Amino acid sequence: MLPANAAIVVLGPSGLPLARRLKRRLPGAEIHGLAGKSLSVDRQFARIGGHLAALFAKGRPIVGICAAGILIRALARRLSDKRSEPPVVAVAEDGSAAVPLLGGHRGANEIARAIARLTKGKAALTTASELRLGFALDAPPPGWRAANPERAKRIAAKLLAGKPVTVAVEAGNAAWLLRGRGVRRVKKGAADIRVTDRAPRAREPSLVLHPPVLALGIGASRGCPPAELARLAARSLREAGLAAPAVACVASIDLKLDESAVTELASRLGVPARYFTAKQLLRETPRLAKPSAAAFRATGCYGVAEGAALAAAGRQSALAASKRKSRHATCAVARAPQPIDPARRGLARGSLAIIGIGPGDPAWRTPEASSALARATDAVGYGLYLDLLGDVLVGKRKHARGLGAESERARLALDLAAAGRNVALVSSGDAGIYGLATLVFELIESAAKPAWRRLEVTVVPGVSALQAAAARAGAPLGHDFCAISLSDLLTPWRAIENRIAAAGRGDFVVALYNPRSSKRTRQLARARRILLRYRRAETPVVLARNLGREGERVKLTTLGALDPGEADMLTTVLVGSSATRRLEGPAPRIYTPRGYAAKRMRRRAP
């Protein structure tokens, strides 16, 4: 499995074509480019050394389309523990070579192989175990874990020396290991490697590998304390002699999709949580050790913990530990004969990230927004906003809806998330400022869809239109300000007029959103007339259109000279307060002082 969220680093335009090809192949990857090179990338950086060091410190995989020496010099002083270092791969600009420099067994070798397959180049692997043995003991398949990884080096050395190594398989299927050269399976006696779901013995002489063959079934009362559930799960495994690293997933009924104790237990174990309907759990009734009529009355199935464990482990599974209870929870464990793939079991808890992508320029997109987009499986939004994201959405399902279809977009995003998808609902600017975040919460509160209330919903802030407009113009929002939408589609015009008048009386800097459309042509002119009751005609005004996009235009004018016909729905209008000033120069700027000058004068007074 390829590592996700790689940073593909380019230093000039010659590396961009390959970077774009790699982005489509590597899951959730972003292109990072050197600033000042006119590169259309997801993120820009000023200093290559500092940027690489920051990525490395965060544990992000790095693919550098540059000389290997650049990566080595930037990261040499950061190296400490190879077991925790992220993958780092150097790639030739023509794709002829991909060299894993660091983290070979943590994904760098897989990245290099994937790049070589794409470019028809060479993956220059140097890790002896993979080259000569066909596997790496310290990098087992996904879900497998080593109880004592320090023993792997000794056994790999034995194999590399041409000596046979014995393997005892007590649980799961170890085909990936048994195919290796020099590996021999034994049924009894001591073995160099033991594949088991049992807890290691004291002073275990073998390398112990745990295959993901256990499913932990959970039933919990509403509001169950997470610490209580964690103790119950640990006790259930301990009393059955089972190893926590052999757990492939935590499972429960879909009524517990939003139960924090369940999600926290899965997070603590480092495994996914999967959920099943009562109908699915009811099918497991014949295999339950302790069916409960009370459970049926409460949930529609005769056993949540045992039923969920068996459903997650599959048809050929059996209970390895029957139901155990604490005050607020139940726990059971099922064992599968083969490793469990949680992605094929039950329903994942869906997530909805309501993301503000800023005005459109990738440089104005926050790192949190980029990370949320990388994690998403589906993106929902107005077609223009999805187009602005470009390659960021490669490999994701895109669901474009027209302008004005806000409710349809929000409902679709909620339904996709309820089906277990990781959804990004995209807004321009900031999703919480005249964006879709409020609409989503309104729908969750009013709609009779319990599945929506169980979702993980996050709001990711973005650079708002008023911030972008102010930055382009200078600093007009330097003192108190307010924002008012002139759209009367959802708000009566009388209420909007009252707010404009209140802003005028309060001497606020005013940001006017939605100033004029093809059908609403008079509102901005009316707002201007109201504000002129409280402002001088010379009050500075900013008209900012298409910020961060092609055709950007910023005009500085005055309230008296403001022509409403110059604004449209892509325009943000900033009207200054009585204190807002215009600073003349080659590039005029406007700003609203906070009173620092007066404060300095008071300090100087005798």
User: Quick one: which of 420, 356, 424, 367 has its CA closest to 395?
Assistant: 424
Question: pTM for the complete prediction?
Answer: 0.74
Chosen domain end from 462, 492, 512:
462
Residue 596 lies in a domain: no
CATH number, domain of 483, equals: 3.30.950.10
* Domain co-membership, 115 together with 162: no
* Domain co-membership, 340 together with 426: no
* Domain co-membership, 219 together with 340: yes
- What is the distance between the alpha carbons of residues 101 and 108, in angstroms, rounded to a whole number? 8
Residue 497 lies in a domain: yes
* Domain co-membership, 510 together with 583: yes
Residue 2 lies in a domain: no
Residue 138 lies in a domain: no
* Domain co-membership, 119 together with 21: yes
Residue type, 474: G
- What is the distance between the alpha carbons of residues 6 and 16, in angstroms, rounded to a whole number? 15
pLDDT at 1: 67
- What is the distance between the alpha carbons of residues 361 and 288, in angstroms, rounded to a whole number? 57
Cα end-to-end distance, the chain, whole Å? 73
Residue 133 lies in a domain: no
Chosen domain end from 326, 344, 362:
344
| Ordered strands of the 329-335 beta sheet | 273-276, 247-253, 214-220, 329-335, 318-325
Three-state DSSP at 332 gives strand
* Domain co-membership, 358 together with 303: no
Which residues in the chain come in under a pLDDT of 70?
1, 81-83, 126-139, 595-606
Instruction: Supply the range of the domain harboring residue 569.
Output: 466-591
Residue type, 424: A
Q: What is the DSSP letter of 459?
A: E
CATH number, domain of 82, equals: 3.40.50.11220
* Domain co-membership, 66 together with 149: no
Element (H, E) at 71: helix 68-75
Record the tokens describing residue 92, joined without a space: 């030739």
- What are the φ/ψ torsions at residue 120 (nearest 5 degrees)? 65, 25
- What is the distance between the alpha carbons of residues 323 and 305, in angstroms, rounded to a whole number? 7
Beta pairing, strands 571-575 & 509-513: antiparallel
CATH number, domain of 432, equals: 3.40.1010.10
Q: For residue 520, count CB atoms less than 10 angstroms from its CB and return exposed for 0-12, middle for 13-18, buried for 19 or more.
A: middle
Residue 567 lies in a domain: yes
* Domain co-membership, 305 together with 400: no
* Domain co-membership, 361 together with 315: no
Chosen domain end from 70, 99, 126:
126
Residue 384 lies in a domain: yes
Record the tokens describing residue 482, joined without a space: 């307010």
Structural domain tally of the chain? 5
* Domain co-membership, 587 together with 473: yes
* Domain co-membership, 15 together with 122: yes
pLDDT at 5: 83
Three-state DSSP at 223 gives coil
Length of the chain, in residues: 606
pLDDT at 126: 66
Helices (H), 161-287: 175-178, 226-239, 260-269, 278-282
Residue 603 lies in a domain: no
* Domain co-membership, 195 together with 112: no
Residues 6 or more apart in contact with residue 355 via CB below 8 angstroms:
369, 372, 373, 424, 425, 426, 427, 431, 460, 462
